[in-house]
Structure 1
Amino acid sequence: MLEELMRECRNYFLIPGGVHPDTYTIKGGSIALPFLRAGQYFRIVGSVLNDGVYQYGDCALRDETFDGAIWAMAVPAEFLRLEEEIKAWRTQYENAANSPFQSESFAGYSYTKSSASGNSGGSVTGWHGVFASRLNKWRKL
């Protein structure tokens, strides 16, 4: 989910001088990256098996040797908290948001789904719409 949010914002929180191109070897599910601190986020680019965003010291990678780059990142704690909120929202509302049905009635019973903003009768939007205003501060063009 974190990488999806970063892609959505076009912002990987790259630190200045944080791109490290080289030949890297992942062995035993881990990689030695002396320019990162434990818990710091990083992105692998150019790998066949491991492209993505990870937290250093808390990831299981697939063994390989690749020519690529490691991006050292400084992800704000507020962004990480927002990611948790979005994950919780998706767990609770995504099935309803993706449903084509907004209302239903049968045998004297009827209901109308409320929208993400709480208004009855509106359509339920996905997390992109619900959290767009809060993600805007991190968006890059």
Structure 2
Amino acid sequence: MSVDQIRQCATSVRSALEQLSPGERSIGLQQFPKGACGDASMLLAAALHDKGLGKFCYVCGLTRKDGSGESHAWLSGEGLIIDITADQFNDGMPPVFVEAESDWHGGWEDIVENSADYREWHGQGLYELARVHYLIKSRI
């Protein structure tokens, strides 16, 4: 595992998600990257796992410390913060963020962490993620 490999995978997943047509996207990805952080993070975690780049944690900040009432999800693991949708907030974050530390990510509170790979989750809608995962696998 190297940071460069993780960054390359994250960049490839981001690009593959951007290239999906609206009909190929799950409901949670319709306005990618806006409002797509949860689904995108789980798909990224699956891709990273598939490539043998590690097992990552799904991190969700339920509120911003600035009181804006927004939430956001990203991945953490291997000593890194990995985020392919932070740019949805127009705060100057890049489309793909892979770094050891982030003041911006530190600006979230009420943090919830869970397994990141959607294949370890249960519930409705996961078949949609499996379908999208299948579509992007050949593009990454």
Q: Compute the TM-score of the two structures, normalised by the length of structure 2.
A: 0.27
Larger radius of gyration: 1
Q: Compute the TM-score of the two structures, normalised by the length of structure 1.
A: 0.27
Q: Which fold has the larger relative contact order, with Cα–Cα distance below 8 Å and residues 6 or more apart in sequence?
A: 2
Please state which structure has a larger fraction of its residues in strand: 1
Please state which structure has a larger fraction of its residues in helix: 2
